[in-house]
Structure 1
Amino acid sequence: MPDLDFYRQKMLKRPGEYEPPLGKIWTRAESRMWTITMFSGTCVLYAARASLPICAAAVAKEFAWNKTDSGTVLSCFFWGYALTQVFAGRIADKYGAEKILPYSSLAWTMITFFTPHLFDFAYWTNYPLVVLLTIRILTGVCQAFHIPSLASIVSKHLAAADKGRVFGIVLAGSHWGTVLAGAIGSILIEWIGWRSLFQFVGILSLVWCWIFRWVLDKKNGTGGGRSSPQPDEEVLIDKKHDTIESHLSANTPCPSVPWGTLFRHPAFWAAAVAQYTGGNSYSILFNWLPSYFHETFPTAKGVVYNVVPSLAIVVTSLVAPVMASRALAEGKTVTYTRKLMEGASLIGIAFCLMLVPMTSSFWLSLLIFTMAMAARGLHHGGVSVNPHDFAPNHAGSVFGVFNACGAITGFVGVYIAGHILEATNNNWSYVFVVTAAQCVVGAMVYTLLGTGQKII
């Protein structure tokens, strides 16, 4: 066991600076427990988010929606999600993510479970569109606190070398959630009806809320980690990183974010462009792919096209953080690693989407979209974890603003896609080609200006 006193003096203490208690850094056992908990939380979050896109065709048929109506209802979730992201991370950093998450999670869980009833209520009133938009916006507001809160938790309890790997794995839970909703949801929709999907996911989310509360109670019961670790206890300390920001205590007053410095740096905006263009491609696929297959190949099984592409991104999103960590261990710079992973992701998506108009075969289309989703998974070793690189002291706050750049695509890209389809009599080629072009632009900008170095 390394000399803990040595690391305390060498890594944490500097003249005039606060020395956080070492016990706040997770042990390996605590890290595994929290990683699994946060991963599963992201999983149910995205299962809830994927529920409406998966059953959009069935809902549209029941309520007589056209493509513009579908695009509006699907996209308005992101109105609340993107705008709330701007300050959600700051709230998590300032007041404690562990205090915010239980309430926000319970709120979107309840809305998810009662969504079918709320939709029926909307059409019982004289203003169905207003009620529908309110429901979806409120769902987005409640879900907006989840990912920035997890970013804040990771930033305060892990050494610098472990943050990107763990947070990348946690974010990969989003794709497991999509697979879960797609696999079980397709069966439920076919056998019972679209309402059963929301109720299933709502119950699953409620179970996770109880598990998260149990983990919090366990943490609070032990003081968030022992202040005097036993001699044989493995503590997650990266002795290569002589920096205090990797070990900030959860009880440390939240420092103000130097937004001016961040916003003046071109690398931040390069990352934001990459986040936007990659997020746009994923939002288009996430929200419209079920409808594309349902309309283009009406005899195809939903359980196939709702699951297979998402399985591909599950694999690559879990592999990507490991690949990035290995590249760093081999001596590659953080900047090189982030650019390589993000560039491969965006160019890979663009290449696949350009192929879509050239095929009329279900299985070939399925293969192309599966490859596109697999390419998107590489994002979890690239820009996805960039805020921990350039803003290690303010990960929650910065990630909230940063992730809003990707979330904006939900109400811009998804909404515009609906209008394009309506105006072109469901010509999907225009949607995919425009999306591919944006990915190329994002890859070029980030390759030229991106960074993995600390900015603030």
Structure 2
Amino acid sequence: MEQFKRKNVLFGSYSHQRPEVVPDYVESVDSRTAGYVLPADMKLLQQDIEGFISCDKPWSRKECRLWTTSLFFGTCMLYAARVALPVCATVIAHEYSWNKNDAGTVLSSFFWGYACTQVIAGHLADRMGAEKVLTISTLTWTLLTFFTPLLFDLSYSTNHPMLFIILIRSATGIGQAFHLPSMASMTSRHLTSLDKGRILGICLAGSHLGTALAGAIGSVLLETFGWRALFHCVGLISFIWWTLLHFLSSARGRADNVGGFKSDELKVPLFNSLRKTSSNSPENVVPWQVLLKHRSFWAAAVAQYCGANAYYTLFSWLPYYFSDTYPDAKGVVYNVVPSLAIVITAFFAPFIATTLFLNVHSLTLTRKLMECISLVGMAICLLISSKSMSFNAALFTFTLAMAARGFHHGGVSVNPCDLAPNHTGSVFGVFNAFSAITGFIGVYLAGYILHETGSTWAYVFVFTSLQCFIGAIVFSLFGTAKRII
């Protein structure tokens, strides 16, 4: 039993702690514990056993550190590329004579392509291999980001410039759509139960660091060299990361071809009981009918939608809000401070969730607490922001709102690992599609409301806040961390 003992390490891995013999009594661990409340230690043991067996090709500790660092940095660059346009939106709008309706359309067009390819992205990552899919998609959005200024200028040499700009942003969204589902599929394939949620949460936290860096560096580049320099800088650094990703993927492929531990070498009853299919087997079809009929899946989807709506609305429109309401404020301040807050909470959220689980002994309760802190916290801050206030008060309130969003990375954000451990990429893709839909519906509606009401921001904040409350109520009533498929 000692081989299964959980280790308190940041990048833990069980690839070098495989048991020589697995006791026979764990063969029917699920049936034997049905109807009983297991002690916390036994719950951890059961999750370790199930998670170990479900790993297709477990990472070594060194591989885990390398991939976690690489994926964290990659997600950082993914969001830096995504936030580049919102950071420069006011300057670009002035140069190309866009009104708020035009700006809302361009900002939301990214999510048209992003949302439409989420499900297929997760499916391809699960079936073809996340490393391969991630490498191809990264090169696509990296090149599109670098050449965005040139493509925008070329669009205005045509008769329909807005149409071409929308197509360019949609294509960038399609390229980026494969990143997060591939990352979820990869961590699910190579890590054990609790490690999946923690490591995936750490990697996802890179998104907010990318947002903060793009806001800070972007504001400086914007004032010094113009908006085109930001796209070139982000595109170049992203290409450097792509070369690292390509190297790691190639090295992993060579290691798999040479040899190493294969999951089918573990010929024990536990294997037959808990690991019914390999994540690469042709028979590994996602049982969508079972998933879509389960209310907990829809509860998580609603929470994902409501939280993402608030986040993307702030993500896309905060620079506009501060520019309109406080024209003398420094862009480098309001583009960076809120994002720094969410970097901190998002990074520590997976560890807070693990600590909560060890104390409350319920992963479902842990997920609900983390998600409700996120949604209710954002809702309250948005309601407060609907009132007139000073710049410092507004900055503080929005910083708290973004900090609250970070707790999502211990809640619904990693819920696909709980609901579908063998189909994480596909389910994560569905969840991400729900969040991406808000990118074009929520962001566009905010622009429409502002255009029709003469830039009355209170309507936007109250409307968004109510949705957060709805998401918190639904997930607290019907959410779960129990396996569905």
Give TM-score, length-normalised by structure 1: 0.92
Deviation of the 1:147 alpha carbon = 0.4
The one of 86, 90, 95 aligned to 1:62: 95
Instruction: Kindly indicate whether the alpha-carbon contact (under 8 Å) linking 1:324 and 1:381 is maintained by their aligned counterparts in 2.
Output: yes
- Give yes or no for the alignment of 1:185 onto 2:218: yes
SS in 2 for 1:453: coil
Distance in 1 between residues matched to 2:441 and 2:89, nearest whole Å = 18
Q: How does 1:40-189 map to 2 (within 5 A)?
A: 40-189=73-222
Q: Which residue of 1 aligns with 2:236?
A: 203
Deviation of the 1:194 alpha carbon = 0.5
SS in 2 for 1:257: coil
Instruction: Kindly indicate whether the alpha-carbon contact (under 8 Å) linking 1:352 and 1:368 is maintained by their aligned counterparts in 2.
Output: yes
Deviation of the 1:347 alpha carbon = 0.3
Q: Which residue of 2 aligns with 1:355?
A: 384
SS in 2 for 1:312: helix
- Deviation per CA, 1:336-383: give whole Å up to 9, x if none: 000000001000000000011223311110000000000000000000
Q: Which residue of 2 aligns with 1:36?
A: 69
Q: Which residue of 2 aligns with 1:411?
A: 440
By relative contact order (CA 8 Å, sep 6+), the higher-ranking structure is: 1
The one of 344, 355, 366 aligned to 2:395: 366
Deviation of the 1:325 alpha carbon = 0.8
SS in 2 for 1:222: helix
Distance in 1 between residues matched to 2:206 and 2:249, nearest whole Å = 20
Deviation of the 1:24 alpha carbon = 1.8
Shift in alpha-carbon separation, 1:201–1:89, aligned structure 2, 3 A: same
Instruction: Kindly indicate whether the alpha-carbon contact (under 8 Å) linking 1:342 and 1:379 is maintained by their aligned counterparts in 2.
Output: yes
Matched residue type, 2:78: L
Distance in 2 between residues matched to 1:250 and 1:43, nearest whole Å = 27
- Deviation per CA, 1:274-298: give whole Å up to 9, x if none: 0000000000000000111111111
Instruction: Kindly indicate whether the alpha-carbon contact (under 8 Å) linking 1:74 and 1:287 is maintained by their aligned counterparts in 2.
Output: yes
The one of 412, 425, 431 aligned to 2:460: 431
Instruction: Kindly indicate whether the alpha-carbon contact (under 8 Å) linking 1:21 and 1:227 is maintained by their aligned counterparts in 2.
Output: no
- Deviation per CA, 1:175-219: give whole Å up to 9, x if none: 011011001000000011001000000001000000101111222
Q: Which segment is superposed worse, 378-387 or 22-31?
A: 22-31
- Give yes or no for the alignment of 1:219 onto 2:252: yes
Shift in alpha-carbon separation, 1:174–1:66, aligned structure 2, 3 A: same
Shift in alpha-carbon separation, 1:384–1:227, aligned structure 2, 3 A: same
Distance in 2 between residues matched to 1:210 and 1:452, nearest whole Å = 36
Matched residue type, 1:379: H
Matched residue type, 2:252: K
Shift in alpha-carbon separation, 1:225–1:312, aligned structure 2, 3 A: farther
Distance in 2 between residues matched to 1:328 and 1:104, nearest whole Å = 35
Matched residue type, 2:135: P
Structure 2 residue runs of 5 or longer lacking an equivalent are: 4-17, 30-51, 263-269
- Give yes or no for the alignment of 1:4 onto 2:19: yes
- Give yes or no for the alignment of 1:314 onto 2:346: no
Structure 1 residue runs of 5 or longer lacking an equivalent are: 230-240
Q: Which residue of 1 aligns with 2:10?
A: none
Shift in alpha-carbon separation, 1:4–1:353, aligned structure 2, 3 A: same
Q: How does 1:230-241 map to 2 (within 5 A)?
A: none
Shift in alpha-carbon separation, 1:64–1:101, aligned structure 2, 3 A: same
Deviation of the 1:267 alpha carbon = 0.6
Q: Which segment is superposed worse, 353-362 or 158-167?
A: 353-362
- Give yes or no for the alignment of 1:392 onto 2:421: yes
Distance in 1 between residues matched to 2:384 and 2:129, nearest whole Å = 46
Instruction: Kindly indicate whether the alpha-carbon contact (under 8 Å) linking 1:268 and 1:450 is maintained by their aligned counterparts in 2.
Output: yes
Q: Which residue of 2 aligns with 1:236?
A: none
Matched residue type, 1:67: K
Instruction: Kindly indicate whether the alpha-carbon contact (under 8 Å) linking 1:186 and 1:303 is maintained by their aligned counterparts in 2.
Output: yes
Instruction: Kindly indicate whether the alpha-carbon contact (under 8 Å) linking 2:181 and 2:426 is maintained by their aligned counterparts in 1.
Output: yes
Instruction: Kindly indicate whether the alpha-carbon contact (under 8 Å) linking 1:20 and 1:248 is maintained by their aligned counterparts in 2.
Output: no
Shift in alpha-carbon separation, 1:386–1:225, aligned structure 2, 3 A: farther
Task: Please tell me the root mean square deviation across aligned C-alpha atoms, in Å.
Answer: 2.4
Q: Which segment is superposed worse, 364-373 or 353-362?
A: 353-362
Deviation of the 1:11 alpha carbon = 7.9
Instruction: Kindly indicate whether the alpha-carbon contact (under 8 Å) linking 2:181 and 2:428 is maintained by their aligned counterparts in 1.
Output: yes
Q: Which residue of 2 aligns with 1:294?
A: 323
SS in 1 for 2:329: coil
Deviation of the 1:92 alpha carbon = 0.8
Shift in alpha-carbon separation, 1:83–1:7, aligned structure 2, 3 A: farther
SS in 2 for 1:392: coil
Shift in alpha-carbon separation, 1:335–1:201, aligned structure 2, 3 A: same
- Give yes or no for the alignment of 1:269 onto 2:306: no
Shift in alpha-carbon separation, 1:22–1:176, aligned structure 2, 3 A: closer
- Give yes or no for the alignment of 1:333 onto 2:348: no
Instruction: Kindly indicate whether the alpha-carbon contact (under 8 Å) linking 2:291 and 2:484 is maintained by their aligned counterparts in 1.
Output: yes
Distance in 2 between residues matched to 1:36 and 1:243, nearest whole Å = 34
Deviation of the 1:98 alpha carbon = 1.1
SS in 2 for 1:330: helix
Deviation of the 1:326 alpha carbon = 1.1
SS in 2 for 1:80: helix
Distance in 2 between residues matched to 1:277 and 1:99, nearest whole Å = 32
Instruction: Kindly indicate whether the alpha-carbon contact (under 8 Å) linking 1:24 and 1:249 is maintained by their aligned counterparts in 2.
Output: no
Instruction: Kindly indicate whether the alpha-carbon contact (under 8 Å) linking 1:12 and 1:247 is maintained by their aligned counterparts in 2.
Output: no
Instruction: Kindly indicate whether the alpha-carbon contact (under 8 Å) linking 1:8 and 1:22 is maintained by their aligned counterparts in 2.
Output: no
Deviation of the 1:327 alpha carbon = 1.4
Number of positions where the alignment pairs a residue of Structure 1 with one of Structure 2: 442
Instruction: Kindly indicate whether the alpha-carbon contact (under 8 Å) linking 2:56 and 2:190 is maintained by their aligned counterparts in 1.
Output: no
Distance in 1 between residues matched to 2:274 and 2:191, nearest whole Å = 10
Instruction: Kindly indicate whether the alpha-carbon contact (under 8 Å) linking 2:100 and 2:450 is maintained by their aligned counterparts in 1.
Output: yes
SS in 2 for 1:65: coil
- Deviation per CA, 1:242-297: give whole Å up to 9, x if none: 89768976644460111111111111111010000000000000000011111111
Distance in 1 between residues matched to 2:54 and 2:375, nearest whole Å = 41
SS in 1 for 2:21: helix
Distance in 2 between residues matched to 1:310 and 1:254, nearest whole Å = 43
